[in-house]
Amino acid sequence: MPGKILIIVHQENSTPGRVGIRLRQRGYKLDTRRPVLGDELPATLDEHEGVIIFGGPMSANDDDIAGVRREIDWLEVPLKENRPFLGLCLGAQMLARHLGAEVRFHKDCYAEIGYYPITPTARGIELYGEWPPCVYQWHREGFDLPHGAELLATGEQTFPNQAFLYADNAVGLQFHPEVTLAMVHRWTVKAARRFSLPNVRPRLTHFNDRLVYDAKVDAWLDRLLDAWLG
pLDDT in tens, 83-92: 999 999 999 9
* Residue 102 near residue 59 (C-beta atoms within 8 A): no
The model's pLDDT over 131-150, given as tens digits with 9 standing for 90+, comes to 999 999 999 999 999 999 99
What is the per-residue pLDDT for 99? 98
pLDDT band at 18 (very low <50, low <70, confident <90, very high): very high
Domain CATH for 153: 3.40.50.880
* Per-residue pLDDT at 1 exceeds 80: no
* Per-residue pLDDT at 224 exceeds 90: yes
Q: What is the mean pLDDT of residues 198-220?
A: 98
What is the per-residue pLDDT for 94? 98
Closest CA to 76 of 66, 85, 67, 89: 85
* Per-residue pLDDT at 198 exceeds 80: yes
When divided into structural domains, the chain yields a total of 1
Percent of the chain with pLDDT over 70: 100
Coil, strand, or helix at residue 131? coil
Please state, in angstroms and rounded to a whole number, the distance separating the CA atoms of residues 203 and 39. 34
Please state, in angstroms and rounded to a whole number, the distance separating the CA atoms of residues 68 and 72. 6
* Per-residue pLDDT at 157 exceeds 90: no
Provide the residue range defining the domain that includes 167. Answer: 4-229
